[in-house]
Structure 1
Amino acid sequence: MTQISLVVSDVDGTLLTKDKTLTDRAKSAVQRLHKAGIGFTITSSRPAIGMRFLIEPLALWLPVGPFNGSSIIDPEMHPVEQHLIPQAAAERSLKILREFGADIWVFTADQWLIDNPNGSYVAHEQHTIRADPTTVTDFSPYLATACKIVGASADAPGLERCEKVMQEALGRQATAVRSQTYYLDITPPGFDKGTFVQAMAKRLGIATDAVATIGDMQNDLAMFRVSGMSIAMGNAADNVKDQATNVTATNEQDGFAEAIEMILKRNGAG
């Protein structure tokens, strides 16, 4: 069995609790990875600024993967790779999101743009990424530099239908996948959490079989598919658990720390 040399984790619903807390047990688990000589980094649908607060407490030294891994940012928040959504795909995605009644957010490298400050999830996102949005009346001037577009909706079944329509409409022009039951993310084509895992493995000179990944949502499946060990959180949907090699406890039960224990045990360091 291949030894694990790198662990790549999702953030929300995985590393953090529901109230966006990094527990002491989670921090200690990452410290154990460092001591065991196992690399650790994170990838998330969050913008880079929303990942900054985790760099120091986790002593991250590898680049992180914001925007579902379609960008790569070093621990000092300098871009290593930055990709954009083609403008035609961005325009098409906005039209579809409006048809499904979702609130629209546009993220550039350094801005979060909204047109409805009273949207259901605006306050939630402010708390999550620890940043404030800029309200605009027209997204058009920003679509040429969009790193991510989000459709936010409390209608989970409707957003799931929107995801399928979006994927069919955009094809290979962009990636469309839900990062939460209430968020549909549109990101640059050809890049996802799986390509981020591959990039980090290449950076370390290891095979992807030596990578373990931890996640809870549909956007984590791309990294599950390319890693040698994949661990789904206990709070994940059944279809996510079905595609993982292992399942841990929920993010409210320190499932992340338990996942790290599984990895260390596999390496004979548990």
Structure 2
Amino acid sequence: MTRIALVVSDVDGTLVTRDKTLTDGAIRAARRLHEAGIGFTITSSRPAIGMSFLIEPLAITLPVGPFNGSSIVDPQLKPVELHLIPEAAARRSLDVLNEFGVDIWLFTNEKWLTRHPDAEYVPHEKRAIRADPTIVGDFTPYLTTACKIVGSSSDAALLQRCEAAMKQALGAEATAVRSQTYYLDVTPPGHNKGTFVEAMARRLGISTEAVATIGDMQNDLAMFRKSGLSIAMGNATDDVKKVATHVTASNEEEGFAGAIDMILKDNELR
């Protein structure tokens, strides 16, 4: 059996609490990985700027994967790999989101764009990524530079139907998956958290069997399937837990630290 040499963690619902706090317990757990000589990095649906506050306290020196791993940036947030949604797919995704009546955001590598600054989840996203949106009247000028398009709604059932419609409308032209029950993400085709795991394994010269992943949502399944060990959070849905190797406590109960304990104990047995 292969010992774990790299841990890749999701952020929201996994590494941080519901109120987007990085706990002392999570920081200590990451430190234990470093002390054990195990690499550590993060991948998230967040834009790069929304991951920056985690780099220093977690002592991350490896590249991180924003936009569901479809881009890769170094710890200073400079692009290593930058992928964009094809313009036609971006336009089609806007049509689907408009049809379902959900609020729409567009992210470029540098900006978060919205047409409705007072929409339901804008304050939540501002608090989460620690950045303000740019208000625009029309997304059209930005369709050629879209890293991610998001549909947000508190109607989880509606967003689930929207996800199914989006997958059908886009096919292989872009990836559509929910990163939260209230967020539907559209990202570039062929790149996801699974390809980020593969890219990091190549960079470190290790097998993907030597990678452990931690997450809680459907967008984490791609990296679960590419890693030798996967741990679902206690707050994850049942379909995510079924794919994982292990299940830890929730993100409100230091589940990330619990996952690190599992990984370190697992290494002792290998």
- Taking the aligned partners of 1:169 and 1:138, their CA distance within structure 2 comes to 22
Instruction: Give the aligned partner of residue 47 of structure 2.
Output: 47
Counterpart code for 1:255: G
Instruction: Give the aligned partner of residue 240 of structure 1.
Output: 240
Alignment of 1:90-239 (within 5 A): 90-239=90-239
Q: Percent identity?
A: 72
The superposition leaves residues 201-256 of structure 1 with CA deviations (integer Å, 9 ceiling, x where unpaired) of 00000000000000000000000000000000000000000010100000000000
- Taking the aligned partners of 1:78 and 1:47, their CA distance within structure 2 comes to 12
Q: Which runs of 5+ in 1 are unaligned?
A: none
Q: Is 2:33 aligned against 1:21?
A: no
Q: For residue 58 of structure 1, give the secondary structure of its aligned residue in structure 2.
A: coil
The structural deviation recorded for 1:64 is 0.2
The structural deviation recorded for 1:80 is 0.2
Query: TM-score normalized by structure 1?
Result: 0.99
Q: Is 2:12 aligned against 1:12?
A: yes
Q: For residue 212 of structure 1, give the secondary structure of its aligned residue in structure 2.
A: strand
The superposition leaves residues 118-145 of structure 1 with CA deviations (integer Å, 9 ceiling, x where unpaired) of 1100000000000000111100000100
The structural deviation recorded for 1:39 is 0.2
Q: CA RMSD in A?
A: 0.7
Q: For residue 179 of structure 1, give the secondary structure of its aligned residue in structure 2.
A: strand
Q: Runs of 4 or more off by more than 2 Å in structure 1? A: none
The superposition leaves residues 138-166 of structure 1 with CA deviations (integer Å, 9 ceiling, x where unpaired) of 00000100000000011100000110110
The structural deviation recorded for 1:268 is 1.0
Residues paired across the two proteins, number: 269
Q: For residue 66 of structure 1, give the secondary structure of its aligned residue in structure 2.
A: coil
Counterpart code for 1:77: L
Q: Which runs of 5+ in 2 are unaligned?
A: none
The structural deviation recorded for 1:169 is 0.9
Q: For residue 230 of structure 2, give the secondary structure of its aligned residue in structure 1.
A: strand
The structural deviation recorded for 1:2 is 1.1
Instruction: Give the aligned partner of residue 257 of structure 1.
Output: 257
The superposition leaves residues 156-196 of structure 1 with CA deviations (integer Å, 9 ceiling, x where unpaired) of 00000110110111011000000000000000000000000
The structural deviation recorded for 1:55 is 0.5
- Taking the aligned partners of 2:243 and 2:35, their CA distance within structure 1 comes to 30
- Taking the aligned partners of 1:131 and 1:211, their CA distance within structure 2 comes to 31
- Taking the aligned partners of 1:197 and 1:167, their CA distance within structure 2 comes to 23
Instruction: Give the aligned partner of residue 38 of structure 1.
Output: 38
